[in-house]
Structure 1
Amino acid sequence: MNAQIRLTEEETKALAKEHGTPLLVVSTKRVTENYQYLKRKLPRVEVHYAMKANPDEHIVRTLADLGSCFDVASAGEMEALTAMGIAAARIVYANPVKTAEGLETAKRLGIHRFTYDSASEVDKMAAVIPGGEVLLRVRVENPEALVDLNKKFGASVGEALELLRRARDKGLCVKGLCFHVGSQSATADAYVRALKQCRDLFDLAAEEGMHLTTLDIGGGFPIPINGQDINLDEMTETIQKYVDELFPDTELWSEPGRFLCGTAVQLITQVIGVKNRDEQVWYFLDEGVYGSFSGIFFDHWNYEFVYFKDGEQHPATFAGPSCDSLDILYRGHNAPALEEGDLILVPDCGAYTSASATTFNGFAKAKSIVWETENTKSYTVLKNEQRHFIADAV
């Protein structure tokens, strides 16, 4: 897997001086490398970037130029891709529960590929887009995932055949199945279970005259941070082995989000205030949980903080700039003594950060720029040195 990209102190200060903070620094080179890695390791799989992870136009246009397709969940995401000139044939409306506006937008834009996991969804799609191509989303048990999406979506194996029949009988074009093992899944185990499960369903459907041709293996490919022991080569090789064995003639899709964008963005934030409360120092930053640190709550994520100061470290509380007492990033995190104006670099800050940021309390969202750096460090090396990981999330 590619080495981690990291701005130097000089680069961080120069960019902050030129563009201000908070600042998101996007590497389209890293986006390209991540996409090419998946295409190399899973050559039969057609990539559909999950827009929800990060809809930054720099990222989306880079992936579009590389040939990626796209996974969308709303009318807004469909409109955004269309405005960039991305063809409807490269878009799948993959929200298992669609709004009336979303279906009407899909119809108007010519988007005809969908996923579903319930009988009511079949009726909605058939009424608005008769003949639409559909994949049934099936549930995969994977409690080890960072975010278990199967708590909300996915039909059980027991109801799958009936839902396939219903779609066929309502005039929809039943193309196949899809699944999602959950976000930041560290091994291939859940993929293997899901692939075997889907193979059984393909065979049962064939017995009833439904010859499924497409399998979407979802997303969930992890990024190697937060100290997880991940062997991405081994993971993707195992997945490739089983798709070749179980689905040699099937069209294969995937829906990665975090993997493509997570390691491609760094955040520069600044200390804007220092105070002592309850015998602990508090550092107030110009970015908080309502901004690019929204992933603390929405994505269960712990962010790495890189300081450009030495010295003895002491437990500190980090808070965002808003007037809401909820806007506390971390408590009891060891940090060197910081002062107002000091910069903090947050690597690997590309997934579910700016995507879920708000303008709460009137604070603008962090500016995003494209800037490349040659400064990289191996993930293996970082695991063996002192990393400034956050210890205790609020």
Structure 2
Amino acid sequence: MSAQPVDLASPLLPVQPVTSRPVAAPQVLSQTPVVRVDTAIVLRQLAALRRALPGVQLHYAVKANPARPVLRALARAGCRWDVASRGEIEAVLRAGGAAADMSYGNTVKRAADIAYAHEVGVRRFTFDSPGELAKLTEHAPGSLAMVRITTSGQGAGWALGGKFGCPPDVAADLLVQAIRSGHRVGVAFHVGSQQSDPLAWTEPVAAAARLREVARAHGADLAVVDLGGGLPAAMREPTASLAVYGAGIRQAVARFLGPDVPELMAEPGRAMVAEAGVLETEVLLVSERAGLRWVYLDAGVFTGLVETVGEGIRYRVEAVRDGAPLAGRTQPAVLAGPTCDSLDVLYVEHPYQLPTSLQPGDRLLFHSTGAYTATYSTVGFNGFAPLREVFT
């Protein structure tokens, strides 16, 4: 891995926007909401990630979009896998992926699922507590056990909170226990989803280097450092290019883990599939409430747009009528979904500038929605059907 210095103080390069495909004919448009996913763009993103992170094994975070067409395309391209459940393991195997290329990244697993994963050939597991390590030792003996450390999540659009990971001092004790229990060991972390800071990996890489010294003091070494996910997709606010993120990560690795760098892996999810998707939704109502213009849609929090909760993920939105962009004067609008739940409001603090001519029957296109949309859709809350997916 190159240790050449990179000027990260230079202006951040914009992520290239997705060029959406022409909107389909009106008779197809009526079947909203729908998210259209282009697997060619998924493969384009895989190639871009490989260029940005040379030498890093990419394990696709299956939870981002576990649809069979996506998994099959990535399997054919030789991608590896980050899985979170037995169901995801089985989905990858059905799509042609190999168990030996999987990393079981969920830190809370059924003992029976650990045993199943180990039986079919999974050999990498993540943990962050003594109880989880005990399950690994019993049901996946001799496996690679990666202790997950906490990160601040600062700069992330969708922070991961305190549910996962442990402080480095606790991780050090767990690392020693894992070594004594006969495991090969590693360190894992996640800087938060849709991370806006290309330098967010610096501190956790430094913490991994300190934990490496603990492992070496006990006669072992880190077999792998898992850089996690967090690489962004193109959203409303510009972000740096994947190349800039890769440069920041490589610089941290060279500084703290070089020159004898352990194996590196990463778990891109959103960066792999988000830009491949465009979610199309119909305008149901335009009205004024307390001096604000409200635009109600047939897609909302419960039909694929749950990541708008807290307004942390702000998609790029385009208005169209009869398949053509809707131009003209604009004004701010609050966006809301169709259900009778007051939680089903997408953007209030960050209203969108939409054409004043917008009317029921027009469509809004939400770009970069190939990740965490259909899988987050409810099975039918309030009688609304789950979000439909179409693949090309």
- The TM-score range, normalised by the shorter chain, is 0.7 to 0.9
Cα 1:278–1:91 change in 2 (3 A) is: same
Which residue among 313, 322, 347 is the counterpart of 1:301? 313
Name the CA shift for 1:326/1:235 in 2 (closer, same or farther; >3 Å).
Answer: closer
Aligned counterpart, 1:316: 333
Which amino acid is 2:223 matched to? Answer: T
Partner of 1:366: 387
In angstroms, what is the RMSD of aligned CA positions?
A: 2.4
Preserved contact between residue 201 and residue 252 of structure 2 (Cα < 8 Å):
no
1: distance between equivalents of 2:213 and 2:145? 18
Distance of 1:15 and 1:86 partners within structure 2: 38
Superposition pairs of residues 183-222 of structure 1, within 5 angstroms: 183-222=193-232
Show the counterpart of 2:181.
170
Greater helix content: 1
The unaligned stretches of length 5 or more in structure 1 are: 372-394
Q: Which residue of 2 aligns with 1:4?
A: 17
Alignment of 1:50 onto 2:39 = no
* 8 Å contact kept, 2:235–2:314: no
Q: Secondary structure at the match of 1:149?
A: coil
Take 1:74 and 1:212, find their aligned partners in 2: how far apart are those partners? 25
3-state DSSP of counterpart to 1:38: helix
For the pair 1:338 / 2:351, whether they are aligned, the reply is: no
CA contact (8 A) 1:22 1:287 kept: yes
Q: What is aligned with 1:388?
A: none
In the alignment, which residue of structure 2 is the partner of 1:253? 265
Alignment deviations for residues 135-160 of structure 1 (CA, whole Å, 9 cap, x no partner): 11122334222233362222222122
Letter of the aligned partner of 1:335 in structure 2? L
Provide, for residues 33-65 of structure 1, a one-character-per-residue CA deviation record: whole Å limited to 9, x for no partner. 111111112111000011122222222222111
User: Which residue of 1 is the match for residue 370 of structure 2?
Assistant: 350
Aligned with 1:114: secondary structure?
Answer: strand
Q: Trace 1:91-110 onto structure 2 (pairs within 5 A).
A: 91-110=102-121
Deviation (angstroms), 1:236: 0.9
Aligned mates of 2:243, 2:121 — CA distance in 1? 37
* Residue in 2 that maps onto 1:328: 345
CA distance in 1, matches of 2:169, 2:191: 18
C-alpha deviation, 1:330, in angstroms: 2.9
| Cα-to-partner distance string for 1:275-319 (whole Å, 9 max, x where unaligned) | 454455443322111012111127721222211323332343432
- CA 1:2–1:30 in 2, change beyond 3 Å: closer, same or farther? farther
Q: Provide the rounded CA distance (Å) in 1 between the counterparts of 2:289 and 2:157.
A: 33
CA contact (8 A) 1:150 1:181 kept: no
Aligned mate of 1:155, from 137, 155, 166? 166
Aligned mate of 1:271, from 258, 283, 287: 283
Q: Does 1:66 align with 2:85?
A: no
Code of the residue aligned with 1:365 in structure 2: it is: P
SS in 2 for 1:12: coil
Structure 2 unmatched ranges of 5 or more: 1-13, 320-324
Distance 2:195 2:294 in 1: 34
Distance 1:231 1:304, change over 3 A: closer
Task: Report the AA paired with residue 70 of structure 1.
Answer: W
Q: Distance in 1 between matches of 2:26 and 2:99?
A: 37
Amino acid at match of 1:102: D
TM superposition shift of 1:328: 2.2
Matches of 1:356 and 1:298 in 2, distance apart? 15
Give the fraction of aligned pairs with identical amino acids, expressed as a percent.
Answer: 35
Could you tell me how far apart the structure 1 residues matched to 2:229 and 2:291 are? 44
Q: Name the amino acid aligned to 1:322.
A: T
Rounded to whole Å, the distance in 2 between the matches of 1:238 and 1:27 is: 29
Equivalent pairs, count: 368
Q: Is the 8 A contact 2:302 2:381 kept in 1?
A: yes
